[in-house]
Structure formats: structure tokens, C-alpha cells
């Protein structure tokens, strides 16, 4: 049977506990997803979700220091992985199935009994992390964040996950405690355990470790804004022989019926070294050493993004040739053989995901913060029904100048920048 058995029980405090049964595996993943991230922040609080995530690593009542906490995790053979995104934050351990109960206990300590010590030390570390995204004059050079700031403008989705330096410098312990109290309630989180586990046993373990977690409330999601303001070009001057490029289109969300066609379209463009993006721009034209396309799905929208870095003098030509490739997709110049290859590779990766406990936890735990995740068999059925005309329709809809933002960080001369601007503005 393709689809794993997925069961969910909601504890009395509102915490959803989901298991994904993968009896063929020899390891398990314990993942706690919390509905908090930069989307839920005001400009004054921007970066506080990331800051709070860092502070949670500074020890708990049972493990009073960061050393004690990490030692407890590593004695289980695991590593405590955490990340903050736009739509949610994640805390995850991978380990032997027999140790799942202890891992849930660690997560309960981490979320339920944080000490929030060493704030000044953690502040210094985050400020060092921020420095990667700015030059010596304080100018932002993270091309991905620049592009998202353009496409989402003043909406929270346009904010940087790590926040601005000025916010990180002023966050207080009271701010961290307020943010934790507001968002780290049971109703605003999902615990998902994927691996060779038994649902009732996991629920009992979660009940012992997490029943005291305050109920809190489900965070309200600020709706993604409309965007038809393209094409927009932003150039940030930065020293060096290469320019980093982010070419982003506002796209359709996962719940849109056209999303599966968008996934297929992406794979026609970039899914291996024989597909158009790499073969044409890198292999045949030598315009970039590497160029990649991806979809970033968010709760109620998505971004279709092409990223690359190339020599400063090649930037206008690279973008021109890229837009030619996109024109071919919009014109429906896609072969049945290309679509057949897409289906084969998509099926393989779907099957491979069943052998990846973290992938299963992400799909059935993280996605479930916003909507019920479709089954794997349903996704394969959808892909099997996609036709070339569906790809043409979604390409025409998404790959449009009105949905386009281009961010470039590099040392472009006035002439090259003017040429790049003309290439983008002349595209129709």
C-alpha cells in the first residue's frame, strides 16, 4: 500500500499528536511544528520568532544550560534541529524508535520549561549571523530576501526571518517571554512522529510530557497580499566578479487545482542536467556555472523562483536567455516525452519520501497547521492527469511580467544595468 497509516489524536489542551506509521524504517523522527514565524510579526517585532527559537536552546528547568540540554539530546544519539520560517517554526529530533518517548520529553522541556538565560550572548551570536546578509556599509546583500521584500512589499511575508539588526539589538527578555506565551500554546502546535511507531503509545508519551503545555490559541494568519505590480527590478551594488540573481514570480498556492501543473512545469524547466534550465544556460551557452529553479509554497500563496550567479558582464544575456526559455513554456512548447519524464521522476521522489521520516513528518505535521495534507496517492493521481495544455495554462498565468520581480546583487556597470532593465521591461 502506497499511503502510510496516519492517525491524529488531540490532547485535552488542544495539542494535535500525529503519527505516520513507517514500519519498514529503523529510525524515527519527532517533530514539533509551531504556527509562528515572520508572517506573524509586526515591523517592531520582526525577527522575534527567530530570536525566541535561539533562546529556547539556552537551557530548561531540567537541563539548566545549553550544554546540559545538548548533552541530553546527543546521549539519545540525536541532534536537536530547529528552524524558523515564514509560516512556522520547527523543532526536530531523529533517533531510534525505542527512544521516542524520551525525545518527546526533551521537546516538552524545551517548549514548556525554558530558562531563557544568556540573552546577551545569544544576541551577539544572532548579530554575527545577520552580518552575512549585509556589506561593510550596512547595505543588505541577501538577494533572496531582497526579492521577497519586493514581491510582498509592506506585508509581513516581505519581512526578513532573522529581522533587522536594530530589532535584534533591542529585544528584551520580556519580549521573548511575551512571544513565547503568545504563540507556544498547545492549540498552536502539532507534534508529529514518523517511523516504526504505535499511535496509542506515542499519544500516551505525549500526554505525559506535554499535557501541562498551556492551551493558548491558534494564531490568525495574515492573508497574503495581491501582487500584479511587475515587472520590478532592484539592483544592489556589491563588490566582486559575479552578480547573484533571484528571478521570482508570484504563483498559485498548494490548494489551487493548478498547483500540480505548476510542479510539473517546474520539472520541465529544471529537474536534472538534461532539462532546459541547466542544459541551455549552463551546459550549452556557458552563461552560469549553476542555475536552479524552485517553488516556495506558503500557506496561501507560492513563489516560483530561478536563482543563479554569473559574471557581471553576462547578467543581461543570462536574463534574456532565461526569459526566452520561459516564453517557450508559455507557448506550450513542451513535448509528451518531457511530461512523461516528469511523471516518472515525480513518482520516484514521492516513493522515496516514504523512506524519509523527516519528509513524512513535514508533510503530515507541518502542512497540517494550515490544511489537511492530501494523500501521496492523490498527488500521484493528480500528476498522472496533467496534460501539456495544463502546463501551458499555468505558465501563461504565472510566468507573466505582472508577476515578476528580479533582484540583482553585484557590480553592474551603468551600461549593463541599463541593458538588464531593457531586457526586463521589453518582455511581454
Q: What is the domain count for the chain? A: 2
Residues 402 and 289 in one domain: yes
Closest CA to 313 of 402, 417, 164: 417
Q: Is residue 216 part of a domain?
A: no
Q: Is residue 221 part of a domain?
A: no
* Peptide bond preceding 115 in cis form (omega within 30 of 0): no
| pLDDT at res. 148 | 97
Residues 34 and 134 in one domain: yes
Low-confidence spans in the chain with pLDDT less than 50? none
The per-residue pLDDT for range 359-380, each reduced to its tens digit, is 999 999 999 999 999 999 999 9
Question: Residue 373 in 3-state DSSP?
Answer: coil
- CA-to-CA separations, 154 to 41, 143, 145, 148, in angstroms, rounded: 12, 17, 13, 10
Question: Sign of the CA dihedral 223, 226, 231, 232?
Answer: negative
Which CATH number is 301's domain given?
Answer: 3.30.830.10
Q: Is residue 86 part of a domain?
A: yes
| pLDDT at res. 137 | 87
Residues 146 and 266 in one domain: no
Closest CA to 265 of 307, 321, 309, 325: 325
Please say which residue of 210, 242, 260 terminates a domain: 210
Residues 132 and 239 in one domain: no
- Kindly state the helix (H) or strand (E) to which residue 297 belongs, with its residue range: strand 291-297
Residues 260 and 111 in one domain: no
Q: How far apart are CA 68 and CA 274, in angstroms?
A: 49
Closest CA to 394 of 407, 403, 405, 381: 403
For residue 252, the enclosing domain spans: 232-426
Residues 186 and 247 in one domain: no
| pLDDT at res. 1 | 66
For the chain, counts of helices (H) and of strands (E): 16, 11
Residues 333 and 193 in one domain: no
Q: Is residue 220 part of a domain?
A: no
Residues 181 and 247 in one domain: no
Residues 52 and 174 in one domain: yes
Residues 201 and 244 in one domain: no
The set of cell numbers assigned to 90 is 520547527
Q: Are 87 and 110 in contact (CB under 8 A)?
A: no
Residues 77 and 120 in one domain: yes
| pLDDT at res. 136 | 86
The per-residue pLDDT for range 403-415, each reduced to its tens digit, is 999 999 999 999 9
Q: Is residue 198 part of a domain?
A: yes
Residues 183 and 255 in one domain: no
Closest CA to 348 of 296, 272, 249, 273: 272
| pLDDT at res. 91 | 98
Closest CA to 202 of 13, 4, 28: 28
| pLDDT at res. 240 | 85
- CA-to-CA separations, 160 to 46, 238, 292, 321, in angstroms, rounded: 7, 20, 22, 30
Amino acid at each position: 500500500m502506497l499511503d502510510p497509516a496516519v492517525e491524529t489524536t488531540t490532547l485535552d489542551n488542544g495539542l494535535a499528536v500525529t503519527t505516520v506509521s513507517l514500519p519498514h524504517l529503523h529510525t524515527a523522527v519527532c517533530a514539533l511544528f509551531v504556527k509562528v514565524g515572520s508572517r506573524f510579526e509586526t515591523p517592531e517585532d520582526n525577527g522575534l520568532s527567530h530570536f525566541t527559537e535561539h533562546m529556547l536552546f539556552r537551557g530548561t528547568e531540567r537541563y539548566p544550560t545549553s550544554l546540559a540540554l545538548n548533552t541530553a539530546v546527543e546521549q539519545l544519539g540525536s541532534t536537536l534541529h530547529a528552524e524558523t520560517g515564514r509560516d512556522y517554526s520547527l523543532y526536530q529530533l531523529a533517533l531510534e524508535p525505542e527512544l521516542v518517548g524520551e525525545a518527546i520529553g526533551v521537546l516538552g522541556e524545551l517548549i514548556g520549561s525554558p530558562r531563557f538565560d544568556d540573552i546577551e550572548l545569544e544576541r551577539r551570536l544572532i548579530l554575527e549571523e545577520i552580518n552575512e546578509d549585509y556589506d561593510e556599509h550596512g547595505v543588505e546583500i541577501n538577494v533572496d530576501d531582497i526579492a521577497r521584500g519586493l514581491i510582498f512589499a509592506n506585508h509581513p511575508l516581505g519581512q526578513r526571518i532573522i529581522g533587522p539588526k536594530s530589532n535584534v539589538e533591542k529585544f528584551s527578555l520580556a519580549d521573548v517571554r511575551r512571544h513565547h506565551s503568545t504563540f507556544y500554546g498547545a492549540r498552536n502546535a502539532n507534534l508529529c512522529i514518523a517511523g516504526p511507531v504505535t499511535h496509542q503509545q506515542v499519544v500516551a508519551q505525549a500526554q505525559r510530557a506535554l499535557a501541562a503545555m498551556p492551551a493558548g490559541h491558534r494564531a490568525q494568519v495574515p492573508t497574503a497580499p495581491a501582487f500584479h505590480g511587475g515587472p520590478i527590478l532592484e539592483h544592489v551594488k556589491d563588490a566582486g566578479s559575479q552578480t547573484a540573481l533571484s528571478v521570482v514570480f508570484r504563483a498559485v498556492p498548494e490548494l489551487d487545482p493548478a498547483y500540480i501543473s505548476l510542479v510539473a512545469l517546474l520539472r520541465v524547466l529544471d529537474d536534472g542536467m538534461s532539462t532546459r534550465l541547466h542544459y541551455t544556460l549552463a551546459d550549452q551557452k556557458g552563461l552560469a556555472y549553476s542555475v536552479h529553479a524552485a517553488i516556495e509554497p506558503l500557506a496561501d500563496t507560492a513563489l516560483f523562483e530561478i536563482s543563479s550567479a554569473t559574471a557581471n558582464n553576462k547578467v543581461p544575456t543570462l536574463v534574456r536567455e532565461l526569459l526566452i526559455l520561459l516564453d517557450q513554456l508559455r507557448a506550450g512548447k513542451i513535448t509528451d516525452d518531457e511530461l512523461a519524464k516528469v511523471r516518472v521522476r515525480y513518482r520516484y521522489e514521492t516513493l522515496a519520501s516514504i523512506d524519509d521520516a523527516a519528509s513524512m513528518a513535514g508533510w503530515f505535521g507541518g502542512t497540517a497547521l494550515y490544511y489537511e495534507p492530501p494523500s501521496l496517492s492523490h498527488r500521484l493521481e493528480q500528476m498522472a492527469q496533467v496534460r501539456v495544455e495544463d502546463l501551458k495554462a499555468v505558465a501563461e498565468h504565472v510566468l507573466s511580467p505582472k508577476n515578476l520581480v528580479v533582484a540583482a546583487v553585484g557590480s553592474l556597470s551603468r551600461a549593463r544595468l541599463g541593458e538588464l532593465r531593457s531586457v526586463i521591461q521589453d518582455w511581454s
